[in-house]
Structure 1
């Protein structure tokens, strides 16, 4: 059975490496590509279907884990494997906790991405063999953000990037008053009092970018 696989990564060499690896191991697989987060939605809405998404957490427009949560909220039936230069256990565990079905470090041998794809397509989870994560016993900001709607997550992503309400409204093609209403709801759901506090919490989900590393 052939599969349609979307590679979402802003580095052309990384997309090429992944496409070649998948093409050699999975005969007949159709490879789709996106270099920005905002290119993913039009591909998923063509009606032709996508069986699995390989997602870079640091591609433009992602806002780290916020983008992952938005994608899983809008397209819960399509499994996502995070392919990231970040390899710390906390990032891996949070990716799984908030919707990913697998996680493959970009430094991993190319055989691992094929193993991960096959496992996830079979309905399993796939994780690298790394030490377990240990986090402080404090409320996870992603737990609070998980209650937000897709539109509210977009607003939160804008807040994390330091954008004004009018900038967010322009990008979302809605009225500024609508964005302000979303901000009020976001503050209530995140249990914070000010936009600045929401920005601080959101920044904990917008992971710092790491340098690209091609798979061996």
Structure 2
């Protein structure tokens, strides 16, 4: 039983170390959590996507991904295009003071649009395949007979992180009671998204 737990803890630690890094997906979850818009849907989409990718990696899909460089290049270009558009929209919000700070007449994004954005930020990011499918999948094989314990730990880390980020963001609401704070957040999001887009294009 102890080896099983150790394998799960190893997966948990590695999974968290990979997912906690700032990126487009985390920035989006944080913003939705602060705005209190469709938080449950965003958390569910991101966590469920990670769990599916981790499972695919442990099941052996990593070799398929590594053997299809053209496929990864296509995902990189599609992801770069999406991140560029999202980054420019964030920059426009900041410049136009079009924030999510409480005010009359604000119209939240639809559930479908929010879920689609969360899916795109996850599945159009080639790094997610390299991190979850290839890296986690490969390291899981170093725990023979306990690969799925390792996968369970990594999946638990993903679920815990997105839940904490999405629902814990409300603790920062007092800071974001001012439109200026939202402007700063949107500028940061724009910089992150555009920098990620540039890095994806450079990697092709």
TM-score normalised to the size of structure 1? Answer: 0.23
Q: Highest relative contact order (Cα 8 Å, sep 6+), 1 or 2?
A: 2
Question: Which has more strand, going by share of residues?
Answer: 1
Question: Which has more helix, going by share of residues?
Answer: 2
